[in-house]
Structure 1
Amino acid sequence: MATPMSAAAFLDCLRDEGLDVVEVGAWETHNRNSKGPWGPVSGVMIHHTVTRGSAATVELCRKGHSNLPGPLCHGVITKDGKVHLVGYGRANHAGLGDPDVLAAVIAERTPPADNEATVDGNRHFYGFECENMGDGKDPWPDEQIEAIVRVITAICRRHGWSARSALRHLDWQPGKIDPRGPQFIWEDILGRVAERLAGTTPSTPKPPTPAPLPKPTKPVVDLSRLIAAARSNPAAAGTPVTYSGVRTVEAALVDAGLLSKRYSDGHYGTTTIAAYAAWQRKLGYRGDDADGIPGKTSLTRLGDKYGFQVVA
């Protein structure tokens, strides 16, 4: 935990990390401090906006709407990689979330699955909204992903935090799915943050024409290992087979609306079996063909839609 930076220090740390920062109006004093405390801060939260168009997105995040007054974040990261500062202090971005997740962020470890909404996140997190429709199809340009990496790095560097002080809205509040998309690979982003934090002092200014970043690859799911996990984990006796690809498939089932995020735990148990069987029925399978055990065709179609590839 830390005392929030001053607005001037906040602006400096972003620019020191080589970011293209746009100051929008009197952002330094635009906040919701009259409605509750701001700080101590514990991390950086990333969102997507479900909007299209940079100007409209920035204006919405600055002003808010009738049900949720602005600012809705501290900065808006548009598709061109610019960071538009729209407020500073308490902002309506995080809402209530899970105390176990807050404890994990403070301890700088991977957060558990969120299943409560009892802690005021607007008090504890810097918030950044990213321009994206959030439908799993709207692309995340390389410039935008790089800006997200640098924003997280800048704040973590200034507070002496590790990359694990960053989290997604979906990690914090039950029912949230943001941010998502096939190019938004969270562990890759955190890995790049860790590399920057481990390096030398940040470069400034940002090069006007940065070299293109390599395209991230899709996660790979091994069909045979997944089937072994699916067939062993529901069994009452014996040691269940564990396989990291289960989490990838469960995340896809969550995106498909077939599995509650709180059951996305890497265990291919009866709940995941039921969710996958629902996916099979959605594809037209019936009877024994919709038993919740993945087949190559159904798994490939799930991967094509939700961003992973299958190896047999």
Structure 2
Amino acid sequence: MAAPMSAAALLAALKTEGLTVVEVDDWRTHNRNHKGAWGPVHGVMIHHTVTSGTANTVKICRDGYSGLPGPLCHGVITKDGRVHLVGYGRANHAGLGDPDVLAAVVAERALPADNEATVDGNRHFYGFECENLGDGKDPWPEAQLLAIERVSAAICRHHGWNERSIIGHLEWQPGKVDPRGFTMDSMRARVASRLKAGAPAPAKPSTPSAPAKPKVSLARVVQAARHDPPAAQGHTTHKAEVLTVEKALKAEGLLASAYVDGSFGTKTIDAYARWQRSPAGGGYVGKDADGIPGKASLKRLAARHGFTVTD
């Protein structure tokens, strides 16, 4: 039995374990605490999302959907290994599960088969959704598996738990199949090895010269997006700067590789409009989400993908 760690302690533990963490909007206060208690906590539950694309996945996990309000987890682990924190507190991720499974997690012993759904798991588990279609074919990149390992180890290390405090949704609630594509036994073995190796050594101070960040002119990418005659994917106005923006949209899962071509055509405009509408991009609506870059949305994209914006 343990009290949940604070939001600040969770963030610090993940970073200390070597994870790249993205803080999404108001994650520290975004929760379902008005629906029930949060804690005591006993373990970490791993899920897959049945979604693709970073921005889409993060938005769904933060906001939820009809009939199941968000947050749907505490963190989203995307295919690139980043952890997007979307909530802190009670989250709609675990649902009702097996009391014998909970007892085994508390005792840190082998799990029995789950055949009941009578205990509130949202109260007792940290939850992490992992970007994957869950069809058994969608790959699990090593960067993503390593992030799941590190997230689990970070929380176990904080609470003094061992690897048996990590379970999959399919081990908690009858009928669930997630996560599909790797076994929880293999992940627990990875976590056990990491915990046995001891806490990560503090990073050594260093002062290497920082690589120069690409610069993107807001005026130039707007000019490219408003190309006259009407923009068609393939024109090359201000190609280098537009490529920087398109690569960032691709990394967000909004633009297919085929359209990262240094133009700001119709496909890029559609992708940028989806970025503007996303919580991370500003949550704009109407004419403010028309796919033509504005300074605020472009700066948000730049902050996530390592370039700077000039006028």
Q: TM-score range by the shorter chain?
A: 0.5 to 0.7
Q: Is the 8 A contact 1:38 1:90 kept in 2?
A: yes
Paired with 1:179 and 1:110, the residues of 2 have a C-alpha distance of 18
Q: Partner residue of 1:27?
A: 27
Matches within 5 A, 1:46-57: 46-57=46-57
Question: Quick one: which amino acid aligns to residue 159 of structure 2?
Answer: H
SS in 1 for 2:133: coil
Q: Partner residue of 2:192?
A: 194
SS in 2 for 1:47: strand
Paired with 1:116 and 1:204, the residues of 2 have a C-alpha distance of 43
Structure 1 gap ranges (5+):
207-312
Cα distance change, pair 204–142 in 1 and its aligned pair in 2 (3 A): farther
Give, in angstroms, the shift of residue 203 of structure 1. 4.3
Cα distance change, pair 141–203 in 1 and its aligned pair in 2 (3 A): farther
Residue deviations 1:62-104, cap 9 Å, x none?
A: 0001110000000000000000000000000000000000000
Paired with 1:149 and 1:102, the residues of 2 have a C-alpha distance of 21
Q: Is the 8 A contact 1:15 1:205 kept in 2?
A: no
Question: Quick one: which amino acid aligns to residue 194 of structure 1?
Answer: A
Aligned identity (percent) is: 73
Asked if 1:155 is matched to 2:187, the reply is no
Matches within 5 A, 1:66-105: 66-105=66-105
Give, in angstroms, the shift of residue 110 of structure 1. 1.5
Q: Partner residue of 1:108?
A: 108
SS in 2 for 1:9: helix
Q: Partner residue of 1:291?
A: none
Residue deviations 1:202-227, cap 9 Å, x none?
A: 14569xxxxxxxxxxxxxxxxxxxxx
Paired with 2:36 and 2:176, the residues of 1 have a C-alpha distance of 23
Number of residue pairs matched?
A: 204
Cα distance change, pair 204–133 in 1 and its aligned pair in 2 (3 A): farther
TM-score, normalised relative to structure 1: 0.64
Paired with 1:9 and 1:111, the residues of 2 have a C-alpha distance of 28
The CA RMSD over aligned residues, in Å, is 1.2
Question: Quick one: which amino acid aligns to residue 199 of structure 1?
Answer: A
Structure 2 gap ranges (5+):
205-311
Q: Is the 8 A contact 1:14 1:151 kept in 2?
A: yes
Paired with 1:71 and 1:29, the residues of 2 have a C-alpha distance of 10
Question: Quick one: which amino acid aligns to residue 191 of structure 1?
Answer: A
SS in 1 for 2:51: coil
Q: Is the 8 A contact 1:18 1:204 kept in 2?
A: no
Question: Quick one: which amino acid aligns to residue 187 of structure 2?
Answer: I
Matches within 5 A, 1:256-271: none
Q: Partner residue of 1:166?
A: 166
Paired with 1:146 and 1:110, the residues of 2 have a C-alpha distance of 23
The ranges of structure 1 where at least 4 consecutive aligned residues each deviate by more than 6 angstroms after the TM superposition are: none
SS in 2 for 1:46: strand
Q: Is the 8 A contact 1:71 1:87 kept in 2?
A: yes
Residue deviations 1:91-122, cap 9 Å, x none?
A: 00000000000000000012111010000000
Q: Is the 8 A contact 1:18 1:203 kept in 2?
A: no
Q: Partner residue of 2:62?
A: 62
Paired with 1:14 and 1:47, the residues of 2 have a C-alpha distance of 18
Paired with 2:152 and 2:101, the residues of 1 have a C-alpha distance of 18
Q: Is the 8 A contact 1:15 1:204 kept in 2?
A: no
Matches within 5 A, 1:1-312: 1-181=1-181, 184-203=182-201
Paired with 1:204 and 1:24, the residues of 2 have a C-alpha distance of 26
Residue deviations 1:249-289, cap 9 Å, x none?
A: xxxxxxxxxxxxxxxxxxxxxxxxxxxxxxxxxxxxxxxxx
TM-score, normalised relative to structure 2: 0.64
Residue deviations 1:148-182, cap 9 Å, x none?
A: 0000000000000000000000000000000011x
SS in 1 for 2:22: strand
